[in-house]
């Protein structure tokens, strides 16, 4: 009888342990700023770039600008520019568009995010220190 009771306790402990191990662990939400190149379209002889930006820094950003490097299809730097994404509220996703005049999208092979712009002594700390992820839904490669 005593053996059966211990066996029952051991079985209950094993079932509890199995349930705990089988419980899915929720992945941590990504922290930082996410930029996605969502669409490229040649419009009026220039390239219209559409980005989806998300802010998971833990703080609203009153201003967010990033330096971009646009490369031709053969890997040569075509131009460097800063895109001003404006305010990025915490926990919110926003869409921003930028027009590159006189440069059809077909000429671009990749876009690189050099990083946040204006990260001097008086810059917004959450923008300048936040991890940045870049992704693309287009044929144009987009990274950091």
Number of domains the chain is built from? 1
Give a yes or no: residue 22 inside a domain. no
Give a yes or no: residue 88 inside a domain. yes
pLDDT at 141 over 70: yes
Write out pLDDT tens, residues 84-110: 999 999 999 999 999 999 999 999 999
What CATH number has the domain bearing residue 101?
2.60.40
The pLDDT-based confidence of 46 (bands split at 50, 70, 90) is very high
Give a yes or no: residue 60 inside a domain. yes
The pLDDT-based confidence of 30 (bands split at 50, 70, 90) is low
Give a yes or no: residue 6 inside a domain. no
Give a yes or no: residue 16 inside a domain. no
- Which pTM value belongs to this model? 0.76
Give a yes or no: residue 121 inside a domain. yes
94 lies in which domain range?
A: 32-143
Distances (CA, A) of 58 to 12, 29, 108, 129, 132: 42, 11, 34, 12, 14
């Amino acid at each position: 009888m005593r053996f059966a009771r211990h066996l029952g306790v051991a079985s209950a402990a094993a079932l509890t342990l199995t349930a705990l191990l089988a419980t899915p662990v929720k992945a941590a939400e990504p922290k930082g700023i996410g930029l996605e190149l969502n669409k490229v379209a040649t419009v009026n002889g220039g390239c219209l770039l559409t980005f989806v930006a998300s802010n998971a820094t833990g703080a609203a950003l009153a201003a967010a600008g990033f330096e971009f490097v646009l490369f031709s299809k053969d890997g040569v730097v075509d131009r460097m520019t800063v895109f001003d994404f404006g305010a990025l509220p915490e926990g919110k996703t926003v869409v921003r568009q930028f027009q590159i005049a006189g440069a059809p999208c077909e000429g671009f092979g990749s876009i690189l995010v050099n990083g946040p712009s204006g990260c001097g002594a008086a810059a917004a700390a959450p923008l300048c220190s936040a991890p940045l992820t870049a992704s693309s839904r287009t044929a144009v490669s987009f990274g950091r």
